[in-house]
Amino acid sequence: MYQYTAAELSSMLKKKECSAVEVTESVLGRIHAVDDKVGAFITVTEELALQKAKQVDEKRVAGEALHDLAGIPIAVKDNICTKGVGTTCASKMLENFVPPYSATVIEKLERCDYVPVGKVNMDEFAMGSSTETSYFKKTRNPNDLDRVPGGSSGGSAACVSAGEVPLSLGSDTGGSIRLPASYCGVVGLKPTYSSVSRYGLVAFASSLDQIGPLGRSVADVAMLYSAICGRDNHDATSAVREYPDFAASLQADLKGKVIGLPKEYFGHGVSDKVKDAIMKMAHDLEQQGAVLKEVTLPSTDYALNAYYIISSAEASSNLARFDGVKYGFRAKDYNGLVDLYEKTRSEGFGDEVKRRIMLGTFVLSSGYYDAYYKRAKLLQQKITAEFHNAFEACDVLLTPTAPDTAFKIGENIGDPLKMYATDICTVTVNIAGLPALSVPCGYDGALPIGCQLIGAKFSEQNLLNTAFAYEQSVGGFNRIPQIR
Amino acid sequence: MEYEIVVGLEVHAELNTKSKIYCECHNAFGLEVNTQCCPICMGMPGTLPTLNEQVVEKAIKMGHALHCDINRICKQDRKNYFYPDLPKAYQISQFDVPLCEHGYVEVMVEGKVKKFGVTRIHIEEDAGKLLHGGESFEGSLVDFNRCGVPLIEIVSEPDFRSSADAKAYLEALRSILLYLDISDGKMQEGSIRCDVNVSVRPKGSDTFGTRVEMKNVNTFSGAVRAIDYEAARQIEVLENGGTIEQETRRWDDAKGVNILLRSKEDAHDYRYFPEPDLPTIVVPQEKVDELKASITELPNLKVIRYVKEWGISQTDAETIIDNMEKSEWLEAMMKTGNCTAKAAANWILGDISKYMNETGKSLVETKLTPEKMAELISYIEKGKISNAAAKQVFEILLTEDRNPMDVVKEKGLIQISDEGALEKVVADVLANNEKSVADYKNGKTNALGYLTGQCMKATKGQGNPQKLKELLLAALEA
Amino acid sequence: MIDIKHIAKLSRLCVTEQEEEKFAKEMENIVAMIQDLPQLDDTGALMDPNQPMILREDTAQQHFKRDALLQNAPQTKAGCVVVPKVVD
């Protein structure tokens, strides 16, 4: 049963063709069968999942009106706080941290009666592109176990790809939902900044972070996005607006839709296989009535630099609270307060986190603020304006999600700059606060290729519709690889 | 050489809002440790701040009170540093765009009106408290209750030239904070705290000396001691050929000394940057105007007016103004035009204050009104009744809603001031007390008191004592 | 040159001699990359009045018990978190 999409399961549950307990047992069975190979989960909440599933079945028997997500198992990235369930950020620092509160998205899903199956692996504090910086374990790409699943939401993408759950939540600061979605061959949505509450998401870079859904179909992603978006009074950056039911409003009509191809995203560094796959998809959309148009986003080349400055600056401040005083890891032997701080943080954080903290501290430190942080913020305004112009002429932009397919485990871990370069196609979207969707658009051997659809702020429906049309024309994305 | 002291002040005032600045925890003092906190003010991972609108409004009111420009579009910034009482390891504050700036305040110092510049007022959060255990315990304990209590920081220009200037300014700020219901102003609870910047320079110089910042100044009198101590220390260093280092020192009020906390080299690098969790603060112009309109005459300006227009002493004016009701009464009494300010002030500081202190009641709880009180005082001033009689009437009017003159008449308290009638009384008393008259003439001047008493007795207490005394003297000296 | 020792101290991280060399080299490379930014006109303070913040009404509530808030603390005593002795 694990191989069904969430929409299919939802319909079966409604028709009482199966029970939530059966669905949950099926995915738990799949997790037991493959997760020692895939390594997606940090925590599997088996008892809790079965207990919730049982409650949903009881509610259904009692004739209660239930949400489409009722009884659907969903995995959650381990940087999203879950009351009473460990939330580690894949760091030694939070190895034993059990939050006394839940993130707003979790409270929303609880009201939908979702089935919480567990917390999934990620790069430590979401810093990375391969999930290799996790303190606990490596997560492997279900399509090729020697390769990374991408990151930082590697667990969220791998567990969906491997059929361990139909849906998951990830977070995306510079591509952390889209890159693993692309590498693992699933659909991942990075929503418009401010559309999903960040309350309870352990912050990496507050002005860029956004929680989003991953699934094996566009409709599933639309359904989960509808459940988590909306104004939250606990998040001052959350937008005040009404949202449609994205899944119910899906339409496959592309007639007259203008699809922009920003030339900067097809330059050197992008593999030919990837370029070919994207163009093939573009032409598929064209055949369905869309109009292709080349556009330019001149500041794209600087975006990665601005991204690393802004995200590291915010991270250096956001991660300062992990000091061994109130929660989390505390070093064993220390002599005085400063020693406690330094030992705790040096032993509790991995190297990539330390690098970003130091980089962020550097760009904000006395004498450097204007040269780095201020200039990066000014560039952010320029990039945002360039996108705005592009969306005057286009409905959607089409780009690769990543320059290449998934790389081998260990291949880039020693070279931070090479690792950072994998985010080159995704970071601009976070910098401009836009929504973007990664959908599978082909394979290079066993390895999936992802295409990124970028839209204007709050144009998620339009992105989902475009992806839905493509999904229909290729006969669906739901393809669970053999795990070997 | 003669030196001039230059002082600037950074005042932190806790606001008396119901909830904290960034979360819904109660803003309450003195409760059991770590019972007034939540994941947000304890800086737990994933939590986010939401700004309390009352904090913005109260800060703007203070800005208006200090004649500031209001930056109705402004932002918040993070000030990053590690300390156990700061759970997020950054304080949300304001850096380059404070809510209010470019203001001033007029204060009466030793009878003279002085104007002190206010650089800026910004909003920020308070930190927690460190408790130091007993001898049996090595470490320190952290209580997070105070984390997130709203603060405004009021930064002055270096405009004070003496500790007296600084004290007068601090007292004026406190009275304004209380008047506008911005802070409870409780010094003993740390509701108002200040950092003091002190430098000295040769008298007549127009450049500033190197300034030293002093922390841990917790009372206004402590501020005076700290400033005087630091100025003397700096002058001594200079007199001995030394130079002043830019540094931060810690004032120890119990010992009356300060000690080096950190030198310039150890100065913090706070790495300020805009708080990404809080969008731009935009206060509508109408709200800014409305807050301005809500401000009535402020205590510092009232002091100046009472002294200049009404001739009340600065101390008396300050004492009356310290209590909102007393000052409202004085204003209302003066409005009737029935009494002089001095007499009204004396009554307020005398019998009225005594009544309020003894009963713990406010005047609204009595039957007395300022109008009746002014009328009663006018009877004394016109010689219609004696001071003693007025006190009697005052007591009655506190509990009975009656016309003052009716009470005076009913109690037969009208004073006899008619000279003809009093002369007759004096003549009778002198005739009946020959011994006393003789005593007086032999130099026993205290006989006059006895004779006056006899006259009062003869008039059943209603004779004007002043007039009777004059007539007696005239008769005796004749 | 980036003063890694100073940056590490500001970040409350301690780096060993070996790490210092490694981090210094990596940081040099990263900074060399990120400093390539165009010179743009300064538009003043970083604010966006078009996205004004919604302020919270001043109401107070108590949601959490002390035990729950301190459940993750490494060391507690008398309802407080314990740290090495400090003088403020």
Q: Please list every residue in chain B whose beta carbon sits closer than 8 Å to the beta carbon of residue C60.
A: 18-19, 24-27
Tell whether C11 is covered by a domain: yes
- Among chain C residues, the shortest Cα distance to B81 is held by C10
Tell whether C1 is covered by a domain: yes
* Predicted interface score ipTM higher than 0.95: yes
Annotated active-site residue in A19, A26, A52, A77: A77
Interface residue C24 vs chain A (CB under 8 A): no
Residue-wise pLDDT for B310-366, tens only, equals 999 999 999 999 888 999 999 999 999 999 999 999 999 999 999 999 998 889 899
∠ CA A226-A229-A231, nearest 5°, is 140
pLDDT level of residue B461 (50, 70, 90 thresholds): confident
The fold adopted by the segment(s) A6-252+455-473 is Amidase signature (AS) enzymes (3.90.1300)
Q: What is the pLDDT of residue B314?
A: 94
- Among chain A residues, the shortest Cα distance to C48 is held by A381
CATH of B419-477, one of 1.10.3720.10, 1.10.10.60, 1.10.10.410, 3.10.180.10: 1.10.10.410
Quick check: B50 and A233 in contact, CB under 8 A?
yes
Quick check: A483 and A38 in contact, CB under 8 A?
yes
Q: What is the mean pLDDT of residues B44-58?
A: 98
Q: Is the pTM of the predicted complex or chain greater than 0.90?
A: yes
Could you confirm whether A206 is annotated as catalytic?
no
Give the CB-side neighbour count of residue A437, counting CA atoms within 13 A. Answer: 33
8 Å CB contact of B39 and A101: yes
CATH number at residue C20: 1.10.20
Quick check: B121 and B100 in contact, CB under 8 A?
yes
Q: What is the pLDDT of residue A239?
A: 97
Q: What is the mean pLDDT of residues B197-214?
A: 95
Which has the closest alpha carbon to C84: A146, A465, A204, B140? B140
Nearest beta carbon to residue B279 from set C12, C53, C83:
C53
- Among chain A residues, the shortest Cα distance to C57 is held by A233
Interface residue B40 vs chain C (CB under 8 A): no
8 Å CB contact of B49 and A313: no
User: Over pLDDT 70: what percentage of chain A?
Assistant: 100
Give the integer Cα–Cα distance in Å for B183 and B16: 5
Q: What is the pLDDT of residue C43?
A: 80
E-only strand ranges, A21-123: 41-44, 73-77, 115-120
- Domain count of the fold of chain C: 1
Q: What is the mean pLDDT of residues A212-220?
A: 98
pLDDT level of residue A49 (50, 70, 90 thresholds): very high
**pLDDT mean across residues, chain A:** 97
Q: Please list every residue in chain B whose beta carbon sits closer than 8 Å to the beta carbon of residue A79.
A: 46
Give the integer Cα–Cα distance in Å for C67 and A100: 10
pLDDT of B135 over the 80 cut: no
C-alpha distance from C87 to closest chain A C-alpha (Å)? 11
Handedness of CA A292, A294, A295, A300 (dihedral sign): positive
Q: Where are the domains of chain A?
A: 6-252+455-473
Residue-wise pLDDT for A7-48, tens only, equals 999 999 999 999 999 999 999 999 999 999 999 999 999 999
Q: Where are the domains of chain B?
A: 3-291, 323-410, 419-477
C-alpha distance from A336 to closest chain C C-alpha (Å)? 5
Position A169: which residue type?
L
* A106-120, B117-131, B174-188: the lowest-pLDDT one: B174-188
Give the integer Cα–Cα distance in Å for B134 and B447: 70
Residue-wise pLDDT for B391-436, tens only, equals 999 999 999 999 999 999 888 888 877 788 888 888 888 888 888 8
Place of tokens 């005087």: B228
Q: What is the pLDDT of residue A269?
A: 87
pLDDT of A267 over the 70 cut: yes
Interface residue C37 vs chain A (CB under 8 A): yes
Residue-wise pLDDT for A121-138, tens only, equals 999 999 999 999 999 999
Q: What is the pLDDT of residue B265?
A: 80
Q: What is the mean pLDDT of residues A476-482?
A: 91
8 Å CB contact of C40 and A378: yes
Helices (H) and strands (E) in chain B, counts: 16, 16
Could you confirm whether A77 is annotated as catalytic?
yes
Quick check: C43 and A379 in contact, CB under 8 A?
no
8 Å CB contact of B51 and C56: yes
**Phi/psi of residue A100, each to 5°?**
-85, 20
B446 or B125, greater pLDDT: B125
Residue-wise pLDDT for A346-364, tens only, equals 999 999 999 999 999 999 9
Question: What does DSSP assign to residue B304?
Answer: H
Could you confirm whether A152 is annotated as catalytic?
yes
Range of the domain at C29: 1-35
Q: Please list every residue in chain B whose beta carbon sits closer than 8 Å to the beta carbon of residue C83.
A: 84, 130, 139-142
Which has the closest alpha carbon to B226: B238, B210, B214, B241? B214
8 Å CB contact of B44 and A203: no
8 Å CB contact of C27 and A382: no
